[in-house]
Amino acid sequence: MNDILPIILSIVAALVVIGGLIPVLLKTRKNITRYPGTRDANDPEVRSGGSTAVLDRGATERKAPEDVDLEGLDTTTVPDDAAGLEVIPVETPLPVEGRLTRLRERLVRSNNIMGKGLLALLSRDKIDESVWDEVEETLLLADLGTEPTMQLVDALRERVKVLGTRTPEHVKTMLREELVKIVDPTMDRSLNVQRHGDKPAVMMVVGVNGVGKTTTVGKLARVLVAEDKDVILGAADTFRAAAAEQLATWGQRVGVPTVKSDLDGADPASVAYEAVKAGIDQEVDVVMIDTAGRLQNKVGLMDELGKVKRVVEKLAEVDEVLLVLDATTGQNGLNQARVFSEVVNITGIVLTKLDGTAKGGIVVAIQKTLGVPVKLIGLGEGADDLAPFDTEGFVDALLN
């Protein structure tokens, strides 16, 4: 009995110690699973969206289409009192003429290899078949495309045959006239940004990842603000981390509000819908919708882009669909353009990073492929490095 007693006392002591540790362990477990700011998947606040709308929608209420998920939609972020965002001083964008002058100068410096090469070839004393082969190769390497290249070479051959004696000035004049024709000055390159009736103009910006869509929306907002337009931005790129905040920051810089969701992966159509609704209620001139960078081979994502457009059109007509293309991608950009044009009705092209390539012929190739004009070009990373495309200015930059 004396041998058993110490064993019993040891067991009792161990139970007491374990009993004391259980609350501590439970408390520790609770602290591990409940970090501030995290939510469990079963949390009803997460399931219901976990957001509060702060946008003053005014007296008009519109019922959302049945295929739009409005849960999780957050706010219009107003520049001066945006919760959680650093207040950024409102900037004054450069006037259009100032941007155009600077962009032309930059284009002359960065993108004139094609024109210089053609001038050198066509100024030779003797132009034989080998020279025409070089002319053709120069145009193809500049991403002009096969059909436009053949068209331009045929026109130049005829002009050279008729011209006879050629001075550098004659050659430059001839080449300028033919390049202007093929770039096509007859295309309407104006942006459809005029209000119609009680509805704002609605603009969608589309394209693949990495071409600079969000930046383009921000820069274009600056252009419109400089032209005294009232603008609202819609952050319908809900897949890329921080895309909405990036767009809101651009908006803050020029005093433009942004409609966005507080949830990653929210329904892009719902954000676009709310942005247009806010634009109608607040009587703005233009609603610009930034979309996710969709890969053209992802059928589901492309279908979703079509859904965004359909949902928006339940409230207002989409006046402009701008496809943003990276000029440095060359012929791959044409493949992207074809696919996007099958999903949404592309009305214009924004050609970015034109300062990073000597392949100015991509302008012609894109227009020939889609039958829509290049409306805007970007020639740098600066906030005001975006301007309307001008046919004659572009050709003059190639030849100077």
Say which residues have a Cβ less than 8 Å from residue 94's Cβ, sequence separation at least 6: 102, 226, 384
Output the tens digit of pLDDT for each of the chain's 400 residues. 556 655 666 665 655 545 554 444 333 322 222 222 222 333 322 222 323 223 433 333 444 555 555 555 544 444 444 444 455 666 666 666 666 666 666 666 655 667 778 888 888 888 889 999 999 998 888 888 889 999 999 999 998 888 766 777 888 888 889 989 999 999 999 999 999 889 999 999 998 877 888 989 999 998 899 888 999 999 998 887 788 899 999 999 888 999 998 877 788 999 999 999 999 999 999 999 999 877 666 677 778 888 999 999 999 999 999 999 888 777 777 878 888 888 888 999 998 887 665 567 888 888 988 899 999 988 777 777 788 888 888 888 777 7
What is residue 265's predicted lDDT score, i.e. its pLDDT?
Answer: 75
> How far is residue 124's CA from residue 143's CA, in Å, rounded to a whole number?
24
Say which residues have a Cβ less than 8 Å from residue 358's Cβ, sequence separation at least 6: 110, 111, 112, 113, 114, 142
Q: pTM of this prediction?
A: 0.75
* CB neighbourhood size of 88 (10 A): 16
The closest alpha carbon to 121, from 158, 153, 164, 151, belongs to 153
Tokens of 331: 């012929």
Q: Which residues of 376-395 are buried (b: 16+ CB within 10 A; e: fewer)?
A: bbbbbeebbbbbbbbbebbb
Place of tokens 């009587």: 283
What are the structural domains of the chain?
Answer: 75-97+187-399 (3.40.50.300), 111-183 (1.20.120.140)
Place of tokens 């979703």: 304
